[in-house]
Chains A and B, each alone.
Chain A
């Protein structure tokens, strides 16, 4: 089977799983289902999806030696074992006691294994590597790990989700739980699921991380944006992943 045919199959599986979710009591919808048909088509067609360029770049970087250890990601892992990884992050790495997100994991390999400088936030190579890794989980259901040590961080994420803040005094929950599907000016408010990230956002004209998305939402309500390295984002992502459990990974998704 050609890889194109394999991808076409995956996408068929996507549509089917969404149809199923809508037919049952599960009211959860991917942001994909709230976008116009033109954007859905752009996401579905790999030759039109601009996120695929980043996936291809990531594929090359995966094999490229880097850092003073002069090792490539491929020297330590076969790409095939990355299937499912994006569906279960954030997670607590071995020997640590706080969770990290997928980009944190990539940077950990970067510094500890490759012995190179960590990538800065929203670095194109970091996003490309993340997209390549997450692409291996395309179509896989989000499956947060059972690790009980994650529970307090997830609870903290939920508290952040419900916290009213900013000059406009709004919370994530007000928009994404209570008013999802309604129109905020011209935009349909999505349920706010993290299953497409990193996404190619037309607004950004590039691939961007979940963190960048969350910062946009905070900026919109005129709230402080925690530093890029703040644990708040990982906590929020843990909660969002739990809330989106079972929805398929769509990387690289396209969003307006």
Chain B
């Protein structure tokens, strides 16, 4: 019951809209080798984004080595070890547009705005994460070696 109320808070977080114009990036094989933001990704900020249920939303579906967050999902594999299973380049494409890796994925496209239907007005034309936030999340995932 607590969990459900919590969930409503996070699912309902309209305030989390981020403005970002999808910046150009280059996909090479199964990844995006170059950072998509000017500033280097920061793993501390990335961890906070992943943990935050109205910004990253990651823990809705994934569990991960973030013990202070009690309610973690199990629709997706644990994020533990993500940094040893995939390269930084692969992780970047996974976050930017996971459908480029698995066309049937249920993982939301965090840095794509085209091809979406019936997006609620406050989010139209906006990516879920900004380019900088994507870099922060990638920088954090790279540290998850086991």
Which A positions have Cβ atoms within 8 angstroms of B? 36, 38-39, 163-170, 174, 178-179, 182-187, 202-203, 216, 218-225, 256
A179: B residues at CB distance < 8 A: 75, 106
B5: A residues at CB distance < 8 A: 202-203, 256
B70: A residues at CB distance < 8 A: 186
B57 and A168 contacting across the interface, CB-CB below 8 Å: yes
B74 and A224 contacting across the interface, CB-CB below 8 Å: no
In-complex Cβ contact of B119 among A184, A202, A224 (8 A): A224
Which B positions have Cβ atoms within 8 angstroms of A? 1-8, 10-12, 53, 57, 59-61, 70-75, 106, 108-109, 116-121, 123, 126, 128
A167 and B108 contacting across the interface, CB-CB below 8 Å: yes
For chain A, what secondary structure do more than half of its interface residues adopt (helix, strand, loop), or is it mixed?
A: loop
B72 and A183 contacting across the interface, CB-CB below 8 Å: yes
Measured in the bound complex, the distance between the Cα atoms of B14 and A221 in whole Å is 11
A166 and B10 contacting across the interface, CB-CB below 8 Å: no
Measured in the bound complex, the distance between the Cα atoms of B75 and A178 in whole Å is 10
In-complex Cβ contact of B59 among A38, A165, A185 (8 A): A185
A165-B116, A216-B11 known, 19 other contacts, Cβ within 8 Å: A166-B118, A167-B116, A167-B120, A167-B128, A168-B128, A169-B108, A182-B74, A184-B7, A184-B61, A187-B4, A203-B4, A218-B120, A219-B11, A220-B8, A220-B12, A221-B11, A224-B120, A224-B121, A225-B120
